[in-house]
Amino acid sequence: MFEHIRPSQTKDLMRVLEIHSNKETVIYMDIPDARFQRFMKKSHPDKLQIIDEIYPIELILTLFNKIGFSPTMIELYGLDVPYQYNQYIFIHNSKFEDYSDGF
């Protein structure tokens, strides 16, 4: 659903996630790869939904880092082409502090 959020609304979404998150929060996200979206927009615009937005990996990581989340997994995969989707699992940075006590 993230790809259906207008860029002008991401700040509001991230604020809501930050308010309702704690150190036990895990966020799973599966989103079309920005390179694939750009290709589709150029070559097959009729196959995109009117509300599809393009979010590069770097921007997603920055947005989530700003609200205290780090990726524990990033996987790029494709059904039709090698880089069609990006899958993320984010955990709250304070969870990492729990693990650092044991080191």
**pLDDT, tens digit, 9 for 90 and up, residues 57-98:** 999 999 999 999 999 999 999 988 778 999 999 998 876 665
CA distance 67 to 64: 5
Direct distance between the N- and C-terminal alpha carbons of the chain, in angstroms, rounded to an integer: 37
Crossing angle between the packed helical segments 10-19 and 57-66, to the nearest 10 degrees: 40
2-100: CATH topology is Rossmann fold (3.40.50)
pTM over 0.85: no
Provide the pLDDT for residue 60.
Answer: 94
d(CA 28, CA 65): 14
C-alpha 6 chain-centroid distance: 14
pLDDT at 97: 65
